[in-house]
Amino acid sequence: TDGQVAEFKEAFSLFDREGRGYITSHEITKIVNMFGTPASKDAIDKFMMDYDDDKNGNLDFSEFLKMMSRNNVVLNELAEENIRAAFKAMDKDNSGYIEKVELLQVMRGLGEQLTEKDVEDMIKEGDLDEDGRINLEEFTIIMNSK
């Protein structure tokens, strides 16, 4: 989206402090380290091979944008995977739904002192098809709205 491109442009500017129009492999190392992955020289070299289209040893904004877009897709896939795993953990009977009793067990297991009415209200809030339980699609919407 235009908003994401603007955010990426701002991020690019933070690393391209001199306004050269590109960022170096040294600056890329800093970016990769920000994502929590220690970057070896080999990893950075491979990274540059993957994204440095013109092979000049630097990333211009279009190359940086491609890199960020791909990494954004990976992060979104990881988030979806985590949501599915959380749903599966709450769907104790593997029915494909989180029932009131399952949500109550999970919440109490987390130390929440909820009543059955509290749990009914929580389910009603996210129960788009009004069947009294939460399916994966509804759960995903709930988790993405947080």
Q: Which residue has the higher pLDDT, 67 or 54?
A: 54
* Mean pLDDT value across residues 28-44: 71
Confidence of residue 73 (pLDDT cuts 50, 70, 90): low
Q: Find out whether 44 and 25 touch, Cβ atoms under 8 Å.
A: yes
Where does residue 110 rank: exposed (0-12), middle (13-18), buried (19+ CB within 10 A)? Answer: exposed
Tens-digit pLDDT profile for residues 77-123: 657 777 888 899 899 999 999 999 999 988 888 778 889 999 999 99
pTM over 0.75: no
